[in-house]
């Protein structure tokens, strides 16, 4: 028996019945269920038509709609689809070619999701036809591809087929958050990928929305601080490393705030950074705050933060064994690293710092004028 049917259980009756209807012809009872399920492709075609407004918001709303419909059909919470999609989109950005969802080539229809499944995975590693789109033969060769739209084709370029296939894979492991983590691990076999997906799922679940793009300057606006672009200047300690970040000089004990919505990923002593904290945002950027005097007590690894939230205080810790302080003037070292899937790259945070600072100044002015 093909795996698709063997793996049938009561919780998945709807999906399995739809699949059964495809292959064996449908009984009246099945076709009602199937009709409900087959509504999915309509959503992708209407929201993805060239006439649809090409705004980020429209795309995000359409994407959320797609996750929610897949969730209704499979029982997998929408934020888990969103997290996998966001992870794939964030690591795909490194490529010169635009992400699949941003592509507007005439031949390939634009996609809503950025999930791309390699051909050998989709069709089955031993499948002689690596472009195989027939669900029966894909299943026979142990491939990942399934037909979610009900057109008899398992298309790796179709969002519904891709999400449905992902759902089928995940459901093999169960429905709890830890089952989900195992399913994600078994798909990527990459600890970083699994960690990112779990972090993103947590953020989406907590806030209940896709847009988590807010920002804040890391120090309170209007206080006594100074910084300039120091990208790439030499380091006096620790060998020939470039300076990956911006130093914001400020008095000991000045509040340090989160610049983004994110999850606390690291917290503790680092030989170079002293007491430091690292926060992962939804764009897969790691925000690194070093040389702190101390941390906000209530914060632990895995906690969620919002822009402007206090995370610690400016200090001069670092460049030595745990607890070393005062080897240099107190400052916040702030760096941003982007996860590229295999490696993580630092980029100059200075332009963003300027932008966030200006935004907050403008907002303060606006609020003053209102009074």
Give 59 or 256: the residue with its C-beta nearer to Zn ion: 256
In angstroms, what is the minimal distance from the CB of 266 to Zn ion? Answer: 17
Minimum CB distance to Zn ion, residue 147 (Å): 53
* Residue span binding Zn ion (CB under 5 A) among the ranges 28-36, 38-46, 201-209, 330-338: 330-338
Q: Which of residues 235-274 bind Zn ion (CB under 5 A)?
A: 247
Binding mask 333-362 for Zn ion (x = CB under 5 A): x-----------------------------
Q: Which residue is nearest to Zn ion (CB)?
A: 333
What is the nearest approach in angstroms of Zn ion to the Cβ of residue 290?
Answer: 7
- Of 206 and 252, CB closest to Zn ion: 252
* Nearest-approach distance from CB 333 to Zn ion, in angstroms: 3
Hey, is 298 helix, strand or coil?
A: coil
Helix (H) or strand (E) holding 339: strand 331-339
236 vs 369, beta carbon nearer Zn ion: 236
Q: Which residues touch 314 (CB under 8 Å, ≥6 apart)? A: 219, 248, 250, 251, 252, 253, 254, 255, 256, 291, 292, 293, 330, 331, 332
Smaller CB distance to Zn ion: residue 147 or 247? 247
Extract long-range pairs of 114-121: CB within 8 Å, 24+ residues apart: 114/85, 114/88, 114/89, 115/84, 115/85, 115/88, 115/159, 115/162, 115/163, 115/166, 116/88, 116/92, 116/156, 117/144, 117/145, 117/156, 117/162, 117/165, 119/156
Please tell me the count of residues contacting Zn ion according to CB under 5 A: 2
Cβ partners under 8 Å of residue 367, min gap 6:
none
CB of 335 to Zn ion, least distance (A): 8
Q: Which H or E run contains 346?
A: strand 344-347
CB of 279 to Zn ion, least distance (A): 17
Residues that bind Zn ion (CB under 5 A): 247, 333
């Amino acid at each position: 028996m093909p795996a698709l049917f063997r793996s049938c259980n009561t919780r998945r009756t709807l999906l399995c019945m739809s699949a059964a209807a495809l292959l064996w012809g449908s009984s009246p009872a099945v076709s009602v269920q199937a009709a409900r399920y087959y509504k999915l492709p309509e959503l992708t075609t209407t929201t993805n038509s060239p006439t649809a407004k090409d705004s980020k918001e429209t795309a995000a709303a359409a994407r959320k709609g797609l996750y929610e419909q897949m969730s209704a059909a499979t029982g997998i919470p929408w934020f888990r689809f969103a997290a996998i999609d966001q992870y794939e989109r964030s690591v795909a950005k490194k490529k010169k070619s635009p992400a699949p969802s941003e592509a507007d080539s005439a031949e390939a229809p634009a996609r809503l999701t950025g999930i791309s499944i390699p051909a050998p995975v989709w069709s089955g590693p031993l499948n002689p036809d690596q472009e195989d789109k027939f669900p029966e033969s894909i299943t026979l060769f142990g491939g990942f591809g399934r037909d979610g739209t009900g057109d008899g084709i398992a298309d790796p370029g179709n969002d519904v087929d891709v999400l449905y296939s992902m759902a089928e894979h995940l459901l093999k492991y169960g429905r709890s958050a830890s089952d989900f983590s195992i399913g994600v691990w078994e798909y990527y076999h990459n600890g970083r990928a699994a960690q990112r997906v779990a972090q993103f799922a947590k953020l989406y679940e907590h806030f209940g929305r896709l847009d988590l793009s807010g920002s804040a300057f890391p120090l309170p606006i209007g206080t006594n601080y100074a910084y300039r672009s120091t990208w790439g200047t030499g380091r006096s300690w620790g060998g020939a490393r470039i300076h990956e970040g911006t130093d914001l000089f400020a008095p000991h004990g000045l509040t340090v705030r989160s610049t983004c919505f994110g999850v606390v990923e690291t917290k503790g002593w680092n030989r170079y950074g002293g007491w430091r904290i690292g926060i992962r945002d939804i764009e897969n950027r790691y925000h690194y705050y070093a040389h702190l005097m101390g941390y906000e007590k209530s914060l632990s690894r895995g906690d969620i933060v919002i822009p402007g939230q206090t995370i610690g205080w400016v200090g001069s810790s670092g460049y030595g064994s745990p607890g070393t302080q005062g080897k240099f003037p107190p400052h916040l070292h702030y760096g941003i690293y982007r996860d590229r899937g295999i490696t993580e790259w630092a980029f100059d945070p200075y332009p963003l710092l300027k932008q966030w600072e200006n935004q907050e100044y403008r907002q303060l002015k606006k609020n003053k004028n209102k009074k």
